[in-house]
Structure formats: C-alpha cells, structure tokens
Amino acid sequence: MDNNTYTFTMLDGGDGTLRIEKTPVDDGMRPWGHSDLEFSINNPKMNEQTNHLWKYNEDKILKDIQDYVTSTYGSHYCGHNQEYKGIQTIDLMAAKDLATGFCQANILKYGSRYGDKDGRNKRDLLKVIHYAMLLLHFDGHYSRQNNGLTEFR
C-alpha cells in the first residue's frame, strides 16, 4: 500500500481500506482550476451484503449521487473568500426561511426540464435527488445535532 491508503476494521468486524487522493478537477465552473480531495472507502463485506439484493443499478446510482452532492461543496455554490468558503446559497435561503420552497421549486424545475433541455440529462435527475435530500433536511426529517457542524443562521 502507498502512503495514501489506510486499512481499517468496521464495527461489524469487516476489513476495509480508505484511499485519499488530491486530484486536479476541471469542472468548467472555475476557470482557474482547483483540486479536490477524494476519499474512497472500500469495504468488501458491506458490498456483498447489499449488492446481491439490488438489480436496478442502485449501487451505481447511489455512487453517482454521492459524487454529485460532493461536487457541490467545492463548486460555484460556495463562497470564494476563505471566510465564506463553507457557506452555500442554500444556507442563505435557510437563514431567511426560504429553503424548503427553494428546494421544492428546484425539484419542479429540474424534473420538468428533464428530457427537454439537453435531452435525457442525468445531471438534471441528480439535481432533483439532491434537492429532495436537502428538502428532507430543511423540513426537519433529519437534523445536524451533535455532528460538529452548524448552519448559517
């Protein structure tokens, strides 16, 4: 193993590996370019337990969703100055109690344009799913208590 790969033991006793890579990203959103840290966790035991139940590519879809959501934390959705780097547009909406309506409107926007703008664009569906996830949060179905993070309020 190289210096970027670490082994770990899961609580269920399964072994896994964590790989950390810093890679340049050209996502077209920042003309000056940037680098992202990428974390890959491999736990073969977990994959064995779930993948045999799924037959509609759910594992691949969840990976695509995870990759898309992660990309929003380092893109044009965040502040560019160091002191505002962790603040996203949705945080400003939440500060004004507009986040749930904003999420619902974006679910409708990206859902209704699917198939019309840029054809059957997978990215539009990923946005629908991401805004639905945010709506679950802002409507109180999940909380951020005790995870060390705070919202912009």
Residue 120 has pLDDT above 60, yes or no: yes
Q: Could you read off the pLDDT of 60-85 as tens digits, one per residue?
A: 999 999 999 988 887 666 777 777 77
More confident residue, 25 or 114: 114
Which range of residues forms the domain containing residue 16?
Answer: 1-53
pLDDT of residue 53: 76
> Do 145 and 107 share a structural domain?
yes
Across the chain, what does the average pLDDT equal? 76
> Do 8 and 46 share a structural domain?
yes
Name the domain boundary from 29, 53, 77: 53
More confident residue, 101 or 31: 101
> Do 98 and 77 share a structural domain?
yes
C-alpha 146/C-alpha 107 separation (Å) is 29
Span 92-108, average pLDDT: 95
Residue 153 has pLDDT above 50, yes or no: no
> Do 20 and 65 share a structural domain?
no
> Do 121 and 150 share a structural domain?
yes
More confident residue, 37 or 135: 135
> Do 40 and 104 share a structural domain?
no
Residue 146 has pLDDT above 60, yes or no: no
> Do 30 and 75 share a structural domain?
no
> Do 76 and 36 share a structural domain?
no
Report how many domains make up the chain.
2
> Do 68 and 12 share a structural domain?
no
> Do 102 and 48 share a structural domain?
no
> Do 66 and 39 share a structural domain?
no
> Do 69 and 27 share a structural domain?
no
pLDDT of residue 145: 65
